A and B are shown apart, each in its own frame.
Chain A
Amino acid sequence: MFGKLTIEALPLYSAIAAGGAAVTVGGALLVAIVLTWLKAWKYLWTDWLTSVDHKRIGVMYIVLALIMLLRGFVDAIMMRAQQATALDAGGYLPPEHFDQIFSSHGTIMIFFMAMPFMTGLINLIMPLQIGTRDVAFPWLNAVSLWLSAAGAGLVMVSLVIGKFSTAGWTGYPPYSGIDYNPGVGVDYWIWAILISGVGSTMSGINFIVTILKRRAPGMTLMRMTPFTWTALCASVLMAFAFPAITVACGLLALDRLFGMHFFTNAHGGNMMNYANLFWIWGHPEVYILILPAFGIFSEVVATFSKKRLFGYESLVYATAAIAILSFTVWLHHFFTMGSSANVNAFFGVTTMVIAVPTGVKVFNWLLTMYRGRIDFHPSMMWSIGFMVTFVIGGMTGVLLAIPPADFLMHNTTFLVAHFHNMIIPGVLFGYLAGYMFWFPKAFGFELNRGWGLASFWCWLIGFYLAFMPLYLLGLKGMPRRMETYNDPTWQPYLMVAAAGAVVVLFGIASMVMQLYVSIRDRRLTADRTGDPFDGRTLEWSTSSPPPPYNFAVIPTVSDREPFLVAKKDGTAYQRPASYTPISIPSNTPAGVVLGIFAFVLGFAIIWHIWWLVAVSAIVMFTTVITRSSDDHAEFTLSAGEVKRIEDERFRELGRRA
């Protein structure tokens, strides 16, 4: 009846694991109680969970990302605390638990923090920037969101029922195979990734079609914003790289479920094939995450330097070049696998080549700032902090690109320091810059600057403290993922790293405070014009938050910075002679239902509850078929209704003037 699921699955094997489970369950209950107390369930369901509006889907993605950021950070600080005290079998975590923590940390931060954050920002802003009313496939968009949430849900549930993988975020076989890992941990990892990966593939397709087919008249490709360009390139990578991880994890699942021999030690298996398949996705993934962040930096630097972006074309070409090259470097993740010197040399060279277009971009941003009138808004600070820090990470990356050097540093904390040095400033700082930049667009009031700056400085200083020592430790030969060690000279470095994690904790606390203070003071910082930062592109020409249809009249574009030009010409904020009715996709529970049953499906496969697998698969099929047979999935907003909303907007603008 319940497959492998028994009462033994509860995490009563250690106090810390039970505590983690209690916090998870307690947190979920607390949210449920607050929602009930606020009588917000109906509002949440009708206005958010069933919404197919790209802006709301974007916000929900970002909420998911921020929740998972907290979870992933708890994992991080627990690891730092363990390693700081783990000399000679000290520390407080048993090895099995420590291994789960580093596995879930990486999995969460990549798949369930960074991916949803990026997808959310693209959803929220890109359609506004290209002057359209929604993405090409609104309900597919909702499905993508709920599949991502289902994957995140599986990772969270593994805290309470059963254990998570101990095989690291890359899940290399044969260790992740059924012989060495008979528990459910690796299965949680596989199905969380498979389910959310389908969502990411579909998001990629959705964004490509939206950008290629739905731009406002006059917006040629070379008039798109840098963020839209980077979103396009990242989406191409999502659509064509995610199938690779679907294959890698799918084959691993076949090995585990049906005793196949893709990656086993014996019976003709080839575990090195897994490394290839995984990183054929994995390296483009790095650029899927970082390209949109580059786009955000470009927008932020231009806006807060009050200058046009320097070298727009070079930035666009650099982005496209990175997107293509990103498929040619995957082998540098396993130079030590034993390929011939020529193969390693080839991938070493392509890896160094890909640093060139990235370097071009740093000059784009620097020269945009040069002689600009810089406003040190928190978003700008994230961008500046990124530029300085990212260059350091880039240099260590070029070092690792040299195969003989990589042989020495492979699997050491030098590598851990390197990729955190790329991803924290490059990806996370970028998304946080975007979050603080576009927050008023989503909610109609600004985020508090002081707490934003506090958060930035804590993150920046915390980052240096946490990861610079790891570079040194790596050079001294410390392997990554050590639960204990016996070299006392390592401990001081690890203590500094732990202190860095505490400083980052203050940064996260500042973000929470920022949110609290900003909501409290929302009337003081209300954004009545929709354009709080003297914006340059179309998203700032709408109200904050924008109406459901975004633009009452689709704008015609004749410049790269259409809204700035319109403000200079005096053609911004013009009222049309009349309004026309607008058709809007209707909300539907189909997306959230699919997400719930994808979660159930994953859970049932993990625990081998086969009847439940069948039931949830049938429900999912029926939902898809019913919804996709519906020819009238839209409703029409009458011209009068549009006029009423627009009149309100212009009254607000007039009050301001």
Chain B
Amino acid sequence: MSVMHLSEHEREELETREQRALGFWLYLMGDAVIFALLFATYAIMIPGTAGGPTGKQLFNLNNAALETALLLVSSLTFGFASLSVQAGNRKAVLGWLGVTFVLGAGFIFLELREFAGLIAQGAGPDRSGFLSAFFTLVGTHGVHVSMGLLWIVILGAQVAVKGLTAPVASRLFRLGLFWHFLDIAWVGIFSIVYLPGLL
């Protein structure tokens, strides 16, 4: 369907959606700057353990691998939700959003458990510069995932109440961008924090 055949109203709606998508991409790029600086800060603070524990002593690759699996699969299930939006299948959208939510919540649970374990053994964020940087980088990602979970709930409610209207579909598209972006950030965390910390 070319743009020429759209009615005035449809054209406006398409333009609005495009503008919002571009705006959201720009927001994600700004967010990527935040992550980039937190990564850089982490990298330079790895030696700053102040006599406290190092990554090698603290990190558990199994936990990180499980977290990675949950988050990557949740990206896949969100992809199915997006396909269902295009197919106009409301029930499937709700179902896949639900699965995504459960996987994301599982990720957050594992992360909180890891954090609690670290704090319990005296390796909290106030122990050393290294741990401050670790908790802040990983925690910032975790806060993003939690916001994503909240957003999934809100849009799930909108899908249930309003149906897959154009504005709701447009919001789901941006939520998808956000969710996949968090995956990319996590891949960075896994490869810069956990892997080198243990190898």
Contact = CB atoms under 8 A, between A and B. Distances in A.
Interface in A510-546: none
Interface string B8-41: 0000100100111011001101110110011001
Contacts of B48: 261, 267-270
Interface residues of B, number: 40
A209 B23 contact: yes
A244 interface: yes
Given A136-B23, A268-B49, A269-B48, A240 B132 contact: no
Nearest to B46: A268
A273 B41 contact: yes
Nearest to A241: B33
A246 interface: yes
Given A262-B129, A629-B158, A631-B165, A209 B19 contact: yes
Contacts of B30: 201, 205, 239-240, 242-243
Interface string A333-376: 00000000000000000000000000000000000000000000
A216 to B, nearest CB: 13
* Interface residue SS majority, chain B: helix
Nearest to A255: B132
A261 B19 contact: no
A111 B29 CA distance: 23
Interface string A249-284: 001001100111110101111100100010010000
B136 A243 contact: no
B50 A209 contact: no
Contacts of B126: 258-261
Contacts of B128: 261, 267-268
A618 to B, nearest CB: 12
A205 B50 contact: no
Given A267-B128, A629-B158, A243 B44 contact: no
Contact of B34 (A204, A246, A254, A266): A246
A247 interface: yes
A137 interface: yes
Given A205-B23, A208-B26, A273-B44, A260 B136 contact: yes
Given A208-B26, A254-B136, A270-B44, A247 B37 contact: yes
Contact of A213 (B19, B38, B135, B167): B19
A343 to B, nearest CB: 15
A212 interface: yes
A266 B50 contact: yes
Contacts, number: 109
A251 B33 contact: no
A206 interface: yes
Interface string B114-137: 000000000001111110110110
A625 B153 CA distance: 11
B102 interface: no
B132 A243 contact: no
Contacts of B133: 262
Interface in A91-119: none
B129 A277 contact: no
A284 to B, nearest CB: 11
Interface in B70-110: none
Interface string A183-227: 000000000000000000100111011001110000000000000
Contacts of A259: 126
Contacts of B44: 270, 273
A206 B26 CA distance: 9
A258 B125 contact: yes
Given A262-B133, A267-B128, A277 B37 contact: yes
Contacts of A255: 132
B45 interface: yes
B162 interface: yes
A251 B135 CA distance: 11
B154 interface: yes
Nearest to A254: B136
B165 A264 contact: no
B38 A214 contact: no
Contacts of A264: 129
A562 B165 CA distance: 40
Contacts of B41: 247, 251, 262, 273, 277
Nearest to A630: B167
A267 B127 CA distance: 7
A270 B29 CA distance: 26
A214 B33 contact: no
A31 to B, nearest CB: 35
Nearest to B151: A625
Contacts of A270: 44-45, 48, 129
Interface in A131-148: 136-137
Contacts of B154: 625, 629
Contact of A243 (B33, B47, B52, B162): B33
Nearest to A244: B37
Contacts of A240: 29-30, 33
Contacts of B136: 251, 254, 260, 262
Contacts of B171: 628
Contacts of A239: 26, 29-30
Nearest to A633: B167
Contact of A631 (B22, B50, B162): B162
A204 B26 CA distance: 9
Interface of A: 136-137, 201, 204-206, 208-209, 212-214, 239-240, 242-244, 246-247, 251, 254-255, 258-262, 264, 266-270, 273, 277, 280, 583, 625, 628-629, 631
11 contacts: A136-B23, A209-B22, A213-B15, A213-B19, A240-B29, A243-B33, A247-B41, A258-B125, A260-B132, A267-B50, A625-B154
Given A205-B23, A631-B167, 17 more contacts: A137-B19, A212-B22, A213-B15, A240-B33, A244-B33, A244-B37, A247-B38, A251-B136, A260-B132, A260-B136, A261-B126, A261-B128, A268-B50, A269-B129, A273-B45, A629-B158, A631-B162
